[in-house]
Amino acid sequence: MENLIEIKKVYKTYKLGSIDNHALNDINLNISKGEILVILGPSGSGKTTLLNVISGLDKISKGQILYENKDISKYRDYRMTKFRKKNLGFIFQTYNLLEHLNVYENVLVGSNLGHNKADINQIIETVGLSRHKKKYMHELSGGEQQRVSIARALAKQPKVMFCDEPTGALDEKTGKIVLESLVKANEKLKTTMVIVTHNPGIAMIGDRVIKMNSGRIIEEIKNKTRMNPKDIPWG
Protein backbone atom coordinates (compact mmCIF):
# COMPACT_ATOMS: atom_id res chain seq x y z
CA MET A 1 0.00 0.00 0.00
CA GLU A 2 1.05 3.58 -0.65
CA ASN A 3 2.51 5.51 2.27
CA LEU A 4 0.41 8.41 3.53
CA ILE A 5 2.50 9.33 6.58
CA GLU A 6 6.22 8.88 7.28
CA ILE A 7 7.67 9.44 10.77
CA LYS A 8 11.47 9.71 10.70
CA LYS A 9 13.73 9.69 13.77
CA VAL A 10 11.19 11.53 15.90
CA TYR A 11 11.92 12.56 19.49
CA LYS A 12 9.72 14.33 22.02
CA THR A 13 11.87 15.46 24.94
CA TYR A 14 10.99 17.15 28.20
CA LYS A 15 13.57 18.75 30.49
CA LEU A 16 13.46 17.67 34.13
CA GLY A 17 16.11 19.89 35.63
CA SER A 18 19.32 18.88 33.87
CA ILE A 19 17.89 15.53 32.73
CA ASP A 20 16.33 14.90 29.31
CA ASN A 21 13.21 12.74 29.53
CA HIS A 22 12.33 11.20 26.15
CA ALA A 23 8.56 10.76 25.90
CA LEU A 24 9.30 9.59 22.34
CA ASN A 25 12.71 8.12 21.57
CA ASP A 26 13.83 7.64 17.94
CA ILE A 27 10.44 6.76 16.42
CA ASN A 28 10.44 5.54 12.82
CA LEU A 29 7.11 4.54 11.31
CA ASN A 30 5.18 4.56 8.04
CA ILE A 31 1.37 4.61 7.81
CA SER A 32 -0.28 3.45 4.59
CA LYS A 33 -3.36 4.90 2.93
CA GLY A 34 -6.51 3.07 3.96
CA GLU A 35 -5.02 0.95 6.72
CA ILE A 36 -6.08 0.55 10.34
CA LEU A 37 -3.03 1.01 12.56
CA VAL A 38 -3.37 0.20 16.26
CA ILE A 39 -0.88 1.72 18.72
CA LEU A 40 -0.83 -0.46 21.82
CA GLY A 41 0.83 0.07 25.18
CA PRO A 42 0.35 0.64 28.91
CA SER A 43 -0.15 4.02 30.54
CA GLY A 44 2.99 6.13 30.17
CA SER A 45 4.33 4.15 27.19
CA GLY A 46 4.23 7.14 24.83
CA LYS A 47 1.30 6.02 22.69
CA THR A 48 -0.86 9.13 23.19
CA THR A 49 2.20 11.37 22.80
CA LEU A 50 2.87 9.65 19.47
CA LEU A 51 -0.73 10.22 18.35
CA ASN A 52 -0.50 13.87 19.39
CA VAL A 53 2.66 14.58 17.39
CA ILE A 54 1.53 12.64 14.30
CA SER A 55 -1.73 14.60 14.30
CA GLY A 56 -0.05 17.96 14.88
CA LEU A 57 -1.66 18.51 18.30
CA ASP A 58 1.83 18.68 19.79
CA LYS A 59 5.24 19.59 18.39
CA ILE A 60 8.20 17.23 18.13
CA SER A 61 11.64 18.02 19.55
CA LYS A 62 13.56 16.46 16.67
CA GLY A 63 12.90 14.52 13.47
CA GLN A 64 10.40 14.72 10.61
CA ILE A 65 6.72 13.96 10.07
CA LEU A 66 5.78 13.80 6.41
CA TYR A 67 2.24 13.75 5.01
CA GLU A 68 2.31 12.86 1.32
CA ASN A 69 5.97 13.98 1.33
CA LYS A 70 5.21 17.37 2.94
CA ASP A 71 7.09 18.02 6.19
CA ILE A 72 4.36 19.22 8.57
CA SER A 73 6.75 19.28 11.53
CA LYS A 74 7.98 22.63 10.21
CA TYR A 75 4.51 24.19 10.01
CA ARG A 76 3.72 27.21 12.17
CA ASP A 77 0.62 27.09 14.38
CA TYR A 78 -1.78 28.76 11.93
CA ARG A 79 -0.72 26.57 9.03
CA MET A 80 -0.93 23.44 11.22
CA THR A 81 -4.44 24.34 12.37
CA LYS A 82 -5.50 24.78 8.76
CA PHE A 83 -3.89 21.44 7.84
CA ARG A 84 -5.69 19.58 10.65
CA LYS A 85 -9.02 21.14 9.72
CA LYS A 86 -8.67 20.06 6.09
CA ASN A 87 -7.14 16.60 6.48
CA LEU A 88 -7.64 15.07 9.93
CA GLY A 89 -10.47 13.82 12.15
CA PHE A 90 -10.36 13.10 15.89
CA ILE A 91 -12.20 10.77 18.28
CA PHE A 92 -11.56 11.02 22.02
CA GLN A 93 -13.03 9.40 25.13
CA THR A 94 -15.03 12.59 25.72
CA TYR A 95 -17.62 13.15 23.01
CA ASN A 96 -17.70 16.99 22.91
CA LEU A 97 -21.09 17.02 21.21
CA LEU A 98 -23.51 19.97 21.06
CA GLU A 99 -26.38 19.18 23.42
CA HIS A 100 -28.84 21.61 21.79
CA LEU A 101 -28.46 19.92 18.38
CA ASN A 102 -29.84 16.56 17.27
CA VAL A 103 -27.77 13.75 15.72
CA TYR A 104 -28.18 14.99 12.14
CA GLU A 105 -27.29 18.57 13.11
CA ASN A 106 -24.20 17.51 15.09
CA VAL A 107 -22.94 15.56 12.08
CA LEU A 108 -23.73 18.52 9.82
CA VAL A 109 -21.42 20.66 11.98
CA GLY A 110 -18.60 18.27 11.08
CA SER A 111 -19.50 18.42 7.39
CA ASN A 112 -19.35 22.21 7.43
CA LEU A 113 -15.71 22.01 8.58
CA GLY A 114 -14.75 20.01 5.48
CA HIS A 115 -13.98 21.13 1.96
CA ASN A 116 -16.11 18.51 0.20
CA LYS A 117 -19.87 18.08 0.51
CA ALA A 118 -20.60 14.95 2.53
CA ASP A 119 -23.69 12.74 2.36
CA ILE A 120 -24.83 13.17 5.97
CA ASN A 121 -27.45 10.43 5.79
CA GLN A 122 -24.95 7.92 4.40
CA ILE A 123 -22.46 8.67 7.17
CA ILE A 124 -25.13 8.36 9.86
CA GLU A 125 -26.13 5.03 8.32
CA THR A 126 -22.48 3.91 8.32
CA VAL A 127 -22.33 4.26 12.11
CA GLY A 128 -25.75 2.62 12.54
CA LEU A 129 -27.73 5.62 13.79
CA SER A 130 -30.25 6.23 10.99
CA ARG A 131 -33.26 5.69 13.26
CA HIS A 132 -31.82 8.08 15.85
CA LYS A 133 -30.91 11.01 13.62
CA LYS A 134 -33.60 13.33 15.02
CA LYS A 135 -32.78 12.54 18.65
CA TYR A 136 -30.91 14.88 20.98
CA MET A 137 -27.85 13.88 22.98
CA HIS A 138 -29.70 13.37 26.28
CA GLU A 139 -31.83 10.74 24.52
CA LEU A 140 -28.80 8.63 23.53
CA SER A 141 -26.61 6.13 25.38
CA GLY A 142 -22.87 6.69 25.82
CA GLY A 143 -22.08 4.33 22.95
CA GLU A 144 -24.56 6.08 20.67
CA GLN A 145 -23.05 9.45 21.53
CA GLN A 146 -19.59 8.10 20.71
CA ARG A 147 -20.91 6.96 17.33
CA VAL A 148 -22.29 10.46 16.74
CA SER A 149 -18.80 11.82 17.40
CA ILE A 150 -17.40 9.32 14.89
CA ALA A 151 -19.98 10.38 12.30
CA ARG A 152 -19.24 14.05 12.93
CA ALA A 153 -15.51 13.45 12.39
CA LEU A 154 -16.18 11.40 9.25
CA ALA A 155 -18.47 14.08 7.82
CA LYS A 156 -15.53 16.38 7.10
CA GLN A 157 -14.12 13.47 5.04
CA PRO A 158 -10.68 13.38 6.66
CA LYS A 159 -7.76 11.52 5.14
CA VAL A 160 -6.86 10.18 8.59
CA MET A 161 -8.96 9.53 11.69
CA PHE A 162 -7.11 9.61 15.03
CA CYS A 163 -8.84 7.71 17.82
CA ASP A 164 -7.49 8.07 21.36
CA GLU A 165 -8.93 5.29 23.56
CA PRO A 166 -12.31 5.53 21.75
CA THR A 167 -13.82 2.75 23.88
CA GLY A 168 -12.10 3.65 27.16
CA ALA A 169 -15.30 4.86 28.86
CA LEU A 170 -17.53 2.10 27.45
CA ASP A 171 -18.50 -1.42 28.49
CA GLU A 172 -17.57 -4.41 26.30
CA LYS A 173 -20.84 -4.69 24.36
CA THR A 174 -21.03 -0.97 23.61
CA GLY A 175 -17.31 -0.71 22.90
CA LYS A 176 -17.51 -3.45 20.28
CA ILE A 177 -20.40 -1.67 18.55
CA VAL A 178 -18.28 1.50 18.41
CA LEU A 179 -15.33 -0.46 16.96
CA GLU A 180 -17.64 -1.97 14.34
CA SER A 181 -18.54 1.58 13.30
CA LEU A 182 -14.87 2.49 12.88
CA VAL A 183 -14.13 -0.65 10.82
CA LYS A 184 -17.20 -0.07 8.65
CA ALA A 185 -16.12 3.53 8.01
CA ASN A 186 -12.65 2.31 7.02
CA GLU A 187 -14.11 -0.25 4.63
CA LYS A 188 -16.80 1.94 3.06
CA LEU A 189 -15.09 5.35 3.07
CA LYS A 190 -11.44 4.16 2.89
CA THR A 191 -10.53 6.39 5.83
CA THR A 192 -7.10 5.67 7.30
CA MET A 193 -7.46 4.92 11.02
CA VAL A 194 -4.91 5.33 13.82
CA ILE A 195 -6.28 3.87 17.06
CA VAL A 196 -4.51 4.25 20.41
CA THR A 197 -5.47 1.74 23.11
CA HIS A 198 -4.22 -0.17 26.14
CA ASN A 199 -6.64 -3.04 25.31
CA PRO A 200 -4.77 -5.86 23.48
CA GLY A 201 -8.01 -7.28 22.09
CA ILE A 202 -8.55 -4.15 20.00
CA ALA A 203 -5.22 -4.78 18.28
CA MET A 204 -6.89 -7.68 16.44
CA ILE A 205 -9.14 -5.38 14.36
CA GLY A 206 -6.15 -3.64 12.75
CA ASP A 207 -3.97 -4.33 9.74
CA ARG A 208 -0.88 -3.60 11.86
CA VAL A 209 -0.12 -3.23 15.54
CA ILE A 210 2.65 -1.06 17.00
CA LYS A 211 3.56 -1.96 20.59
CA MET A 212 5.15 0.81 22.65
CA ASN A 213 6.97 1.06 25.96
CA SER A 214 9.12 3.81 27.49
CA GLY A 215 8.72 6.04 24.44
CA ARG A 216 9.94 3.43 21.97
CA ILE A 217 8.35 1.11 19.45
CA ILE A 218 9.30 -2.31 20.81
CA GLU A 219 7.41 -4.51 18.34
CA GLU A 220 5.47 -4.31 15.07
CA ILE A 221 2.95 -7.00 14.15
CA LYS A 222 1.13 -7.43 10.84
CA ASN A 223 -2.19 -9.20 11.25
CA LYS A 224 -2.83 -11.79 8.53
CA THR A 225 -6.54 -11.03 8.75
CA ARG A 226 -8.59 -8.52 10.68
CA MET A 227 -10.82 -9.95 13.38
CA ASN A 228 -14.45 -8.83 13.50
CA PRO A 229 -14.81 -6.52 16.52
CA LYS A 230 -17.65 -8.60 17.95
CA ASP A 231 -15.30 -11.61 18.16
CA ILE A 232 -12.30 -10.01 19.90
CA PRO A 233 -11.39 -10.78 23.53
CA TRP A 234 -11.98 -7.78 25.79
CA GLY A 235 -9.51 -6.34 28.26
Express each pLDDT in 22-51 by its tens digit.
999 999 999 999 999 999 999 999 999 999
Task: Kindly report the number of other CB atoms within 10 A of residue 128's CB atom.
Answer: 16
- Residues near 181 by Cβ (< 8 Å), separated by ≥ 6? 126, 127, 128, 147, 150
Which residue range(s) make up the domain with 197?
32-59+84-231
Give a yes or no: residue 145 inside a domain. Answer: yes
Q: Looking at the predicted structure, is the pLDDT value of residue 112 above 90?
A: no
Q: Where does the pLDDT of residue 21 fall: very low under 50, low under 70, confident under 90, or very high at 90 and above?
A: confident
What is the CATH number for 134?
3.40.50.300
Kindly tell me the sign of the dihedral angle through the C-alpha atoms of 207, 29, 66, 92.
positive
Give a yes or no: residue 26 inside a domain. Answer: no
CA separation for the pair 66, 75 (Å, rounded): 11
Give a yes or no: residue 221 inside a domain. Answer: yes
pLDDT of 145: 95
Give a yes or no: residue 170 inside a domain. Answer: yes
Q: Where does the pLDDT of residue 106 fall: very low under 50, low under 70, confident under 90, or very high at 90 and above?
A: very high
Q: Looking at the predicted structure, is the pLDDT value of residue 114 above 90?
A: no
Q: To the nearest whole percent, how much of the chain has pLDDT over 90?
A: 85
Give a yes or no: residue 181 inside a domain. Answer: yes
Mean pLDDT score, 114-126: 85
pLDDT of 16: 81
Give CA angle at 187 (184, 190), nearest 5°: 120
Give a yes or no: residue 65 inside a domain. Answer: no
Give a yes or no: residue 13 inside a domain. Answer: no
Q: Looking at the predicted structure, is the pLDDT value of residue 133 above 90?
A: yes
Q: Looking at the predicted structure, is the pLDDT value of residue 99 above 90?
A: yes
What is the DSSP annotation of the chain? Answer: --EEEEEEEEEEEEEETTEEEEEEEEEEEEEETT-EEEEE--TTSSHHHHHHHHTTSS--SEEEEEETTEEGGG--HHHHHHHHHHHEEEE-SS----TTSBHHHHHHHHHHHSSS---HHHHHHHTT-GGGTT-BGGGS-HHHHHHHHHHHHHHT--SEEEEESTTTTS-HHHHHHHHHHHHHHHHHH--EEEEEES-GGGGGGSSEEEEEETTEEEEEEE-SSPPPGGGS---
- Residues near 3 by Cβ (< 8 Å), separated by ≥ 6? 30, 31, 32, 33
Counting the structural domains of the chain, the total is: 1
Q: Where does the pLDDT of residue 120 fall: very low under 50, low under 70, confident under 90, or very high at 90 and above?
A: very high
Express each pLDDT in 193-202 by its tens digit.
999 999 999 9
Give a yes or no: residue 5 inside a domain. Answer: no
93 vs 22, more confident: 22
Q: Give the strand order in the sheet containing 19-32.
A: 19-32, 3-16, 62-67, 70-71
* Mean pLDDT value across the chain: 93
Q: Looking at the predicted structure, is the pLDDT value of residue 17 above 90?
A: no
* Residues 53 and 24 sit within 8 Å (Cβ to Cβ): yes
